[in-house]
Structure 1
């Protein structure tokens, strides 16, 4: 199999990454200390590393690259990957059924010891899910759940295997928890039968559990004997380090900037727990490569805080501007970087990236900065923002008019994706795509309570939208941003707005509730809206010339909700970094309308 480190989460060990390096890098990604054995987001445009059995498979685009099986007449279509020796592991993937024939199913599988023997988590045409033990034509149902799968929508499927225990989850809902004796080891598989489907973001992690909350204490002066050694190509940074040191666990470096200057393509900068408060912006200027990205990550899930309070422009004077080179506690101009598990606070922007490509921003917290939490602009493409929490960002120098939770604006570049973001209590907007000339895909994200003056800023001008999809100075560019399965509530202005972008925006299965102005304002665009829900906003929808079907306003009637308590969704993330699933804002009548998070 080819090296899949470019695909951001890891690769099968057989590609030439040492076992020690793999274990270290993966344990730093997850607070559960589970190594990433394999991942594929199909961003390279092919299905290398997979073996096909039946069906018509191809990599195509559904907002971002996906693997699609399009032959609905195929009795059984499978794609296999991984190692026959894999035993205790978790496999998860995003799955979108596109069509079902009679008796059809769409599934992922674990412990496939042969092409016909495996544990399979299947979505069925009637909206049910089943955890199945498959042995040829004999199928034993180990568990089932109703109302968890729907055609045309993305769902996250997950199978866990540990000893004889097999568990299956769909969008966080447990489908089955059984004692399985069919097969003890085997590969993973993507499966359809008499159905079409898209698959994306396949990740396989080894077994293992650990704390769900990283420690807040500073690292010990001497690492305990059980701490694993750094892998080759890894530089360690610690608050008690020395920039003249070699960067090992026993003799760590002191600053992230020094580690950046020393790291080579394919290397990892592992930062020990503690607070780092440099006097100047940390500049990420060198490039990794597709086959050798560079990773900057918290070591072993320890809590790492990069505090920009000592940097210039924290805050800048009212009406002033920040020189580009000083923007961001982390200033990113390099390509092929991964940033994992860091907390960036009090910076002149949290993270500011310009002309930066193929970056991966995973499980970050950008909070209480003096400008936008995470901001990408310029010629920037192929960046993925995954499981970001960005909140409390404000801009005293602009009276609240500019600080967003997340901004991808004033530039262009294809393939930028946002998934699993939570954007709240920011001075201006949750998400802003102002003057970004290429489509951005947003999925499974929430934006709430933006646009209120929590800081007592004078002459406050914060806009207060959840998701602002483009716009600019006239003539405003027409850009087809896509927003799916996302929620906006309690914002001072709109939930989802086109901001004057005249383009063919796409809004699918989103929910807007209790926003101060419009739930959906697409009156100046040619948007297409499908199966969205708008409830309790000052104005639920302003369509103008936009069109759609299956939305709450098309269906009519009243829309009581199962729950208006966001405590689960806004609470701690799951061990794998996902937003917890709840019944928040789901229609009480069970209609398949609105977001499912």
Structure 2
């Protein structure tokens, strides 16, 4: 179990020095691990916003990679690290310096029990030189830095000192490490270190990855005041409390009101019934986003059953400000590992930029699970589960699993989503004018009247790729490595969008109508698989494609598939939030067509 302590990092007198002449640097943009030697784990370069080095083996004993020279003496080394999975209190991710062997080095780690520790390790024996509590939020980026000078080692997290102590040796290489954890590492730099700077400051991010989490500020004051540290919310708290672990706030809205760029709002497990929706109208910054997350692995349920419009009357409308248990008009937020139920929209984001919505579960709401609209750009929806959403007020025709619609803005990405059993569509991009990228996602069972709604009008498509209105605006949406199956209408449809849609390596299976419908789009379809649909594919005059199952010929039926058992795909997610891999709907003959999930 991931445990997060919630006292704050306190800056020590000595700030990190400036990085001088470069000894070593690797941003992994070349796509390889040249210059690194491995000891344990599974290491590879992956895309994590930008190219990054990922240790992906879990469960895993100590996994290490090393670089540089054993002759290096006084230097500083830093890296950005993104913990993805911390599997217990003893797990950690970290940075090493002055390594004379695979078991002897100085090390700075972020631990699964919620601490940053500076350690000296000699022949595997660990001495903790300094330690401070720190909320470690999986999925956030942190900058770790070690400075070695003479017989002293110093450690910093996001520019704030953890402490110092006696170095275990006078020279050695640099290293990256995990234990019982998976993580991405990026922007590794080693160089001479000059005199300490006059004050601490976070290292700038040079990556397109989600911004590093800012380190918390000094210890909280006796009463709740705005700040950039950690604010704790618990069902047994009080809004007059300072928002610490032992004296938490009671409401999420109070924490939102107090938050400033860099704040982490950590919500203890429990159900939080709302009588007014949570309004997020202030923004973080690119280098100091505001994070709202469940505390550790605790289950947080935000319940909007007592909000207005649950449901709205048939033919009624929901006032804009009342849309969403969480109503957002803000930028640079991270919402992580929250469950939102029984609300008039779960998450409604209008005019939102550069937010990350990660591992959310939005189900049984009275409108769309997650809706992003208006002038919204640069948002990432990662590992979303959105299901069972319906809209009695519109007889089922509006509640999607995920909608990015009625707006414009570049750079919106959906990755790892599962969208199922919603009354309308799984994914809907109706009247969104800018390209949206959808990857590694699945939509199934949408469009069926599971609630006995009268005069049912749910559409029932897996992925509805734009269109709508009288002019059917063009938008060049992109879908890769995704699956649509068992929907009451189509799998992947252009919905009269004439834009240059791209659909690549995706699978449509047992949808009632058309598997791939590009009747109007100037679409490019490559290496897609259509099996058991009402119609395999319909391509209009402006569409083109190659290598698809209907192009290469052969018999494509259920017997041509390795497995039609979806239980792994639809079962529990992996610890890092990803969809567990399986042979579901893979071609038995090994043909390079369709999705691999």
Fold-level similarity (TM above 0.5): yes
Which structure 1 residue ranges, 4+ long, deviate > 3 Å from structure 2?
18-22, 77-81, 86-96, 106-112, 183-190, 199-204
Q: Deviations over 1:505-552 (max 9, x none)?
A: 000000000001000000111100011000000101001121111110
Alpha carbons of structure 1 residues 565 and 78: separation in structure 2 relative to 1, 3 Å: closer
Measured in 2, the distance between the counterparts of 1:554 and 1:372 equals: 36
Structure 2 runs not aligned, ≥5 long: 10-21, 56-62, 71-122, 125-172, 178-183, 187-206, 213-226
Measured in 1, the distance between the counterparts of 2:340 and 2:42 equals: 30
For 1:35-50, list aligned pairs within 5 A: none
Q: Are 1:380 and 2:376 counterparts?
A: yes
Instruction: Give the counterpart of 2:466 among 467, 470, 479.
Output: 470
How far 1:107 sits from its partner (Å)? 8.8
| Coordinate RMSD, CA, aligned | 3.4
In structure 2, the partner of 1:317 is 313
Measured in 2, the distance between the counterparts of 1:549 and 1:21 equals: 56
In structure 1, the partner of 2:64 is 111
Alpha carbons of structure 1 residues 375 and 116: separation in structure 2 relative to 1, 3 Å: farther
In structure 2, the partner of 1:582 is 582
How far 1:476 sits from its partner (Å)? 1.1
For 1:257-336, list aligned pairs within 5 A: 257-336=253-332
TM-score normalized with structure 2 length: 0.67
Measured in 1, the distance between the counterparts of 2:275 and 2:470 equals: 40
Measured in 1, the distance between the counterparts of 2:23 and 2:290 equals: 22
Measured in 2, the distance between the counterparts of 1:308 and 1:405 equals: 17
Tell whether the 8 Å contact from 1:259 to 1:269 is kept in structure 2 after alignment.
yes
Measured in 2, the distance between the counterparts of 1:93 and 1:396 equals: 47
TM-score normalized with structure 1 length: 0.67
Q: Deviations over 1:363-408 (max 9, x none)?
A: 0000000000000000000100000000000000000000000000
Measured in 2, the distance between the counterparts of 1:509 and 1:87 equals: 35
In structure 2, the partner of 1:564 is 564
How far 1:474 sits from its partner (Å)? 2.3
Tell whether the 8 Å contact from 1:91 to 1:202 is kept in structure 2 after alignment.
no
In structure 2, the partner of 1:412 is 408
Q: Are 1:554 and 2:524 counterparts?
A: no
Higher gyration radius (CA): 2
Instruction: Give the counterpart of 1:431 among 404, 423, 427.
Output: 427
Alpha carbons of structure 1 residues 435 and 326: separation in structure 2 relative to 1, 3 Å: same
Tell whether the 8 Å contact from 1:514 to 1:535 is kept in structure 2 after alignment.
yes
Q: Are 1:485 and 2:481 counterparts?
A: yes
Number of residues paired by the alignment?
A: 430
Q: Are 1:460 and 2:434 counterparts?
A: no
How far 1:300 sits from its partner (Å)? 0.9
Tell whether the 8 Å contact from 1:52 to 1:79 is kept in structure 2 after alignment.
no
Measured in 2, the distance between the counterparts of 1:328 and 1:339 equals: 14
How far 1:116 sits from its partner (Å)? 10
How far 1:111 sits from its partner (Å)? 3.3
How far 1:93 sits from its partner (Å)? 5.4
In structure 1, the partner of 2:25 is 51
Q: Are 1:346 and 2:342 counterparts?
A: yes
Alpha carbons of structure 1 residues 470 and 293: separation in structure 2 relative to 1, 3 Å: same
Structure 1 runs not aligned, ≥5 long: 1-17, 23-47, 58-66, 70-76, 97-105, 118-162, 165-182, 191-198, 205-230
SS at match of 1:325: helix
Measured in 1, the distance between the counterparts of 2:47 and 2:581 equals: 17
Alpha carbons of structure 1 residues 406 and 476: separation in structure 2 relative to 1, 3 Å: same
SS at match of 1:569: helix
